[in-house]
Structure 1
Amino acid sequence: MNAPSCPTQTRLYENGTVVAEGFPAGEAAEKLAAHPDAVLWLDLDDPDMADLEAVAEPFRLHPLAIEDAVQDHEAPKLQRYPGHVFLNVYALEITATGDRLRLDKQEISAFVTERALITVRKSPSDTKPFVQRWDADAELTGAGGVSFLLYGLLSVVVDGQFAAAQRLDSAMDAIEDALIEEGAAPRPVRMRGVALRKLVATVRRPVAPMPDLVSQAMRTDGRRIDERVAPYYRDVEDHARHTVDEVEHLRDRIEGVLQADLAEQGNVLNDTTRKLAAWAAVIAVPTALTGYFGQNLPYPGYGQTWGFVLSTAIIAASALGLYLYLRRRGWL
């Protein structure tokens, strides 16, 4: 087996124990031949087509699956090929910088053969959670083999997605409190709400297919997996459905809050319009009467320089005072 040039990680499990790890990827086929009851985990960090082709020959990976593993931004999916299964999932993490939330997505592809789980990470990510999950119940590798390794991968991914949904739910609480206060919310608060709505929509895309994907993964080789491992898959599937429900609830919740704020903006605008109309009526009646009778009365200082200066100053001061008042009320 030719060795890929990209960074790799390797582990060999036999009868519930790790019998070898950290060996070169080029020795993977030899290790499997030397240990007939062992299963392999091979991780490739951002490989190119040549790296995957080096792995494809000994494990008989399908060319279409290889192509999907190289391309970025593939949708979450599980596809079956002769001799192996290919799946693509996303590990999610929500980080915060002040009041702003950022979504980090790590795309992970995997080839599931009879005796090997080959993972392809297309962006930097930590594999320690996978290893820790496998080590926590390593004895099950003797019963489940590669199916148990796949369970560990899916379990970590789904748990991360659920944690991201919970982080969004906590952020939603703060924004909701600010948006539903009496009066329209300030523009920065509304923009945070809109940004959160976009973030929820972005999270929903990789999360929504996961329950069906986990359900399909329970039959990685066309047969049901060992009954000792099946409960673990059902637990992951349940967590995946819970995560989808949480994200759907968040989407409905932020839509409802933004609509409520929009309605409150309309109420405030109607109240303001009513006040302006009332003042306009108060001013319009005397104006109409004086205009009808042509009452252009000389003002104090009429025909004098100081009178002109005084009247101009009063007009300017009135306009400035009105501007400042309307600006402070947020109408300008």
Structure 2
Amino acid sequence: MTDTRPGTPPGPPAGPPLPATRPAGVPRRAGTRPAGADAIVDCAVYVDGRREPPVDPGDALAAAAERGGFVWLGLFEPTEAELGRIAERYGLHPLAVEDAVYAHQRPKLERYDDDLFMVLKTARYVEHEELTATSEVVDTGEVMVFLGSNYVITVRHGEHGDLAELRRRMEEEQHDLLCLGPAAVLYAVADLVVDTFVEVVAAVQDDVDELEASVFSPERTDDIGRLYQLKRELMSLRRAVAPLEVPLQKLAERQVDVVPGAMRSYFRDVQDHAIRVRDQLGGLDELLSSILQASLARTTMADNEDMRKISAWAGIIAVPTAIAGIYGMNFEFMPELEWRYGYPMVLLVIVTACVLLYRGFKRNGWL
């Protein structure tokens, strides 16, 4: 691993070179970066919590080492070649670089010698007028963070999770936090990601409440498809939140060279928020399961009610059908064929029997 202590120029990266081609079976996330746009979103050197005058990204690491500060290099969907050049300069581990290029990673924390590589899943609530069986509710992205003694590199994938506002807020309002070094940026990014989870869960809660009201409304509705879709979207969000607890626990409890002891309480606070979000997601998932069971039960009851009504009307219609069938057999010797009042009497019997059956079914709740 490259020695990046102040005053020591960066050397060549350790380990094998960055792979020149994409590994078989590893898809690259569909890019959203505009054609021709630079992968470097921002690059700055911070000394004593203050942003230094602009420096060329190629000279930023040396300038930070000389001045006793650190570099914050922000990247957006870099290509393999772009990140490969940065990896050579900063001495990034090839395996971490490969993960950062191809994305599709679960939240994790990896340690390479004295440096750290952390993957965080970002999430965004997708606004929609009405939840349908095909609605996209949660959109996820990724933020990777390379952390060294005097540098922090953030790699963002996806249309959301922009860190420009976070950087501006830290530069203007959180100088004391920036004085704690690169680990402060890692904390700020993790805190932003988890706070976004809180907002997304609150928005999903509104969808759950709307579905619950629809399922238990007096009107007959078919919500099974919508319930299943929301459970799928909730599962996607849980995959982004649940694995984050272990990396945050490591940062909060273990001694890590590039994470000052003063930063542990900060990461512990983020861990508490992540656990709270995880519990909220678990509660929403259980509630959705209960609502889904209630919807299935209500559908079954409605089907049974329809079958009772159909059976009741079939029973009523069977009476005149049977009588008409008997007298339609054209036998010569049948009761009351020659009686003057036979026909009205048969009609009266049919009407009386149908009325009695209707009242009986009505009394039993079949009609």
- Same topology, TM > 0.5: yes
RMSD: 2.5
Equivalence for 1:237: 271
Equivalence for 1:57: 88
**Which among 163, 184, 187 is matched to residue 199 of structure 2?**
163
Equivalence for 1:173: 209
Equivalence for 1:140: 177
Q: CA deviation at 1:93?
A: 1.2
Asked if 2 retains the 8 angstrom alpha-carbon contact of 1:133 and 1:156, the reply is no
What amino acid sits opposite 1:35 in the alignment? R
Instruction: Note the alpha carbon deviations across 1:118-149, whole angstroms, 9 max, x for none.
Output: 1111234422232145333221232x311111
Give distance in 1, aligned partners of 2:327 and 2:166. Answer: 90
What amino acid sits opposite 1:166 in the alignment? A
**Which among 217, 227, 230 is matched to residue 193 of structure 1?**
227
Q: CA deviation at 1:295?
A: 4.5
Equivalence for 1:110: 145
Equivalence for 2:241: 207
Give distance in 2, aligned partners of 1:33 and 1:127. Answer: 24
Q: Does 1:121 align with 2:152?
A: no
Question: Following superposition of structure 1 onto structure 2, how do residues 181-330 of structure 1 map, counting pairs within 5 Å?
Answer: 181-182=217-218, 184-185=220-221, 187=222, 189-218=223-252, 222-223=256-257, 225-295=259-329
Q: CA deviation at 1:254?
A: 1.3
**Which among 83, 89, 97 is matched to residue 120 of structure 2?**
89
TM-score, scaled relative to structure 2: 0.73
Give distance in 1, aligned partners of 2:170 and 2:253. Answer: 19
What amino acid sits opposite 1:9 in the alignment? D
**Which among 48, 67, 88 is matched to residue 15 of structure 1?**
48
Decide whether aligned partners of structure 1 residues 296 and 153 sit closer, same or farther in structure 2, where only a CA change above 3 A counts. farther
**Which among 24, 28, 36 is matched to residue 56 of structure 2?**
24
Instruction: Note the alpha carbon deviations across 1:27-78, whole angstroms, 9 max, x for none.
Output: 1222123212x12211112111111121212322111111111113112211
Where structure 1 has 5 or more consecutive residues not aligned to the other structure, the ranges are: 298-332
Give distance in 1, aligned partners of 2:245 and 2:49. Answer: 28
Asked if 2 retains the 8 angstrom alpha-carbon contact of 1:183 and 1:268, the reply is no
Q: CA deviation at 1:117?
A: 0.9
TM-score, scaled relative to structure 1: 0.80
Give distance in 2, aligned partners of 1:183 and 1:266. Answer: 15
Paired residues in the alignment total 291
Decide whether aligned partners of structure 1 residues 54 and 224 sit closer, same or farther in structure 2, where only a CA change above 3 A counts. closer
Instruction: Note the alpha carbon deviations across 1:65-107, whole angstroms, 9 max, x for none.
Output: 1111111311221111123111111221103131245423221
1:228 alignment partner, SS class? helix
Decide whether aligned partners of structure 1 residues 286 and 141 sit closer, same or farther in structure 2, where only a CA change above 3 A counts. same
Where structure 2 has 5 or more consecutive residues not aligned to the other structure, the ranges are: 1-9, 13-36, 332-367
Q: CA deviation at 1:173?
A: 1.2
Give distance in 2, aligned partners of 1:150 and 1:264. Answer: 49
Equivalence for 2:352: none
Identity fraction in percent:
29
Asked if 2 retains the 8 angstrom alpha-carbon contact of 1:85 and 1:113, the reply is yes
Asked if 1 retains the 8 angstrom alpha-carbon contact of 2:144 and 2:154, the reply is yes
Decide whether aligned partners of structure 1 residues 221 and 132 sit closer, same or farther in structure 2, where only a CA change above 3 A counts. farther
Equivalence for 2:30: none
Asked if 1 retains the 8 angstrom alpha-carbon contact of 2:44 and 2:72, the reply is yes
1:47 alignment partner, SS class? coil
Bigger fraction of residues in helix: 1
